[in-house]
Amino acid sequence: MPHECFADEIDIDFPSVGPAVERICDGFLAERIEGERRVLQAEVSLSPREASGGLVIRVEVPVRTTCPHCGGRGETWTEPCGLCCGTGESRFNHAVRVPVPPGVPDGARLRFRLRSPDASLVRVEVRVAVRSSAA
C-alpha cells in the first residue's frame, strides 16, 4: 500500500501508478514500515540425512514488476493494457537457490530478501520440516 500521504491522490487521480509508488516507498521507507511488509512463507520437507548433511534447495519466489508492455501506466493510448489488465504490473516466478546448512533442526526458519532493479522488495521465510526416519 502506498504511503498514506499519497493514497487519495493515487487511488483517485492516478490508479495505475500505485505499484510504482509502492516500489518507491519500498526503496525509501522499507525499514521504517517493515511491520507492514508482507513476508512470503514456504516450507521444505527434508529427510534426516539431507538435514544432517546440508544441501541447496530451489525456491520459486513470485515477484511483482512493472508491466513491460505499458511501462506501468496500465493503458496503451486510451485502452486498458491487455497484458496487465490495467494494473500496471506483471508477475513472474524467480528461482532462488537457498543453501541449507548441515545439521539444520526441524522447525528452523531461513529468511532472506530478494531485490531486483525493476521489482519491489520481497521478503521470504522458508520453514524446514525434518521428516521422521520412519516416514
**Domain assignment present for 135:** no
Question: pTM value?
Answer: 0.59
- Residue 49 is predicted with a pLDDT of 92
Rounded CA separation 51/105 (Å):
7
Count the domains in the chain: 1
Per DSSP bridges, beta strands 89-100 and 55-66 are antiparallel
Q: Higher pLDDT residue, 123 or 115?
A: 123
SS3 54: coil
104 within some domain: yes
Residue 54 lies in a domain: yes
Q: Which range of residues forms the domain containing residue 119?
A: 4-130
Assess if residue 19 is contained within a domain: yes
pLDDT category, 115, cuts 50, 70, 90?
Answer: confident
**Residue 59 domain-assigned (yes or no):** yes
What are the pLDDT digits (tens) for 68-106? Answer: 888 888 887 778 888 888 888 888 888 889 999 999 999
Q: Is residue 17 part of a domain?
A: yes
The helix (H) or strand (E) run that includes residue 27 is helix 18-29
Q: What's the confidence (pLDDT) of residue 17? A: 62
pLDDT 10s digits, 4-53: 555 545 455 555 566 666 666 655 544 433 444 568 888 999 999 999 99
Q: Domain of 59: which CATH number? A: 2.60.260.20
* Predicted pLDDT at 1: 43
Structural domain includes residue 64: yes
Q: Is residue 24 part of a domain?
A: yes
Q: For 102-129, what is the mean pLDDT?
A: 86
